[in-house]
Chains A and B, each alone.
Chain A
Amino acid sequence: MLTSIKRSFILGWKNFKRSGGLSVVAIMVLMVTTFLATSLLLAQEVMEETIEEVERRADITIYFTSITPGDRIMEVAENIDDNFTLLGIDYTSQHEALEDFRQRHGDNPVLMDALDEVGNIFNPRLDVRATEVETYRRVSDYVRGNYSEIVEEISFYSYGRKEAIESIFSITSRIRRALIVAGTILAVISVLIVFGTIRLSIYSFSEEIKIMKLVGASNAFMQGSFIVQGFILGLVASLISLLVLFGLAGLMYQGYNVFGINLENHLFENLSLILILQFSTGIGLSVISSALAVKRYLDV
């Protein structure tokens, strides 16, 4: 048994070496597939974070009357937080709103003069962030229904905010769906290409497989050597793909950020996942393809 396993490894290695061009082609195809699989995963995550960032910016603001005490507003905030699933809710007092405005427009003397003239015209507010447009609608209705005496305005109902938020969520939802569909299509195509290439590589051995069977090789012995060959192909392809991936990440090191996401950091944060994905895709695909492809020629 041990001798057979050892021989399968030796024969698999020899097959790999002697296949020359076909091995190179198989490695290239596998490499592209593993690279694609990892890139798809990373792209999906980056896109997801980007989408979430966009969605975070599609918030609503509840403006309270200027005489509403801070404690009362905090109480409203707590009630909203208890009743709805939110990404976050932030309170800004009248004073903080004024300071914020001064900081942003401090270099505009006309605005500053006007502000000095009229005093603090800002209202205390709550900024609410959620993941679904429906939540915004329900929060707005809840606040309007329960706290109308202290609420001056809810941005969801004004300035076309509602339409803008609905539009943003509709677009991000479509992008998510498109990503899943594109990812699935690419993955299926890649698997088919890998399987076809490995099959072609083993087809070149079909006559030899027949001869090996005729001189007394068992199916297990035959499959063993080709599975080892597939393993080596997958391993080499995964290693090269990994080098290319981190090479490209290194090139992006010069501060390439998408909505605050550093791609290189992202790679290192997901290192274990990437390694598992790379090797399981490369080696797994290659070994399964080899085992299935060689099976076709064993019926001798």
Chain B
Amino acid sequence: MITFENVTKIYPPYKNKKETVVLKEVSFQVDKGEFVCIAGKSGAGKTTLIRMITGEEDVTEGKIFFDGEDISKIKRRKLYKLRRRIGVIFQDYKLLCSKTVYENIAYSLEVTGASSEEIEKDVPEILDVVDLVEKAQQFPEQLSGGECQRVAIARALIHDPDLILADEPTGDLDPYHSQNIVDLLVKINKTGTTVLLATHDKEIVNYLEKRVITIKDKKITSDVKNGRFRL
């Protein structure tokens, strides 16, 4: 489903800083229905890797394919078609401040042209899954970090995407909710959805016992099935 071919990402020089190499000649493949953990320290390039899959960041060298289509060849104004097939759980939530919890989640369905009946049925269901039914009419600024994270998760899942990109989805969650979210991702994966989980949380990686790709010093240092967290 996703193929990285010798992907290098270099941020150009900015002000007095030199150019920054984030990823160098990274190659790997993720098959449909797989659950893959991308492990690495903070700043290893996990978030950049995810942003390149959604087309938010351009690739400096190499190619990324999504279902055989070269992402760098997709025009910016057409990227929405790719993004509608992906559910992203952002590390910094990226919630719409001017919209309520309900509206934030519903927005992902609205842009796809889903019917109002569908939205009215699905949004309460996902709110129930992430335990936020009572917060439906509140705005993000009225929520705790953990609650915001759960809204972001609900929004990523609501439109039943082919691929879920989760960037540190349990970063702000307590152990109880972390476990719930990880179990939820596993459950979704079992329905056939591909999951790419970027995390530096050793316990989660070890608990999952899924394929683990480790990034260190800008490169992939290991790619192990049923792997464990190892830096």
Spell out A's residues near B (CB within 8 Å): 3-4, 7, 11, 14-15, 18, 205, 208, 211-219, 221, 298-300
Contacts and interface: CB of A to CB of B under 8 A. Distances in A.
Given A214-B54, A216-B84, A216-B108, A3 B113 contact: yes
B73 interface: no
Given A4-B113, A213-B83, 20 more contacts: A3-B113, A3-B115, A11-B110, A18-B98, A211-B95, A212-B107, A212-B111, A214-B94, A215-B88, A215-B108, A215-B155, A216-B80, A216-B84, A216-B108, A216-B111, A217-B80, A218-B77, A218-B80, A218-B111, A219-B77
B56 interface: yes
A205 B83 CA distance: 20
5 contacts: A3-B115, A214-B88, A215-B108, A216-B80, A219-B77
A12 to B, nearest CB: 12
A249 B44 CA distance: 69
B112 interface: yes
Contacts of A205: 98
Which bucket holds chain B's interface residue count?
Answer: 20 to 34
Given A18-B98, A208-B98, A300-B76, A214 B115 contact: no
Contacts of B79: 213
Given A214-B88, A300-B76, A221 B111 contact: yes
Contact of B111 (A15, A18, A215, A298): A215
Sorted nearest first, the 4 A-B pairs with minimum C-beta distance are: A216-B84, A217-B111, A216-B83, A218-B80
B97 interface: yes
Contacts of B97: 208
A115 B96 CA distance: 92
Given A7-B110, A215-B83, A217-B111, A300 B56 contact: yes
Interface of B: 54, 56, 76-77, 79-80, 83-84, 88, 90, 94-99, 107-108, 110-113, 115-116, 155, 159
Given A215-B155, A216-B111, A299 B76 contact: yes
Nearest to B95: A211
Which of A7, A215, A298 has the largest number of chain B CB atoms within 10 A? A215
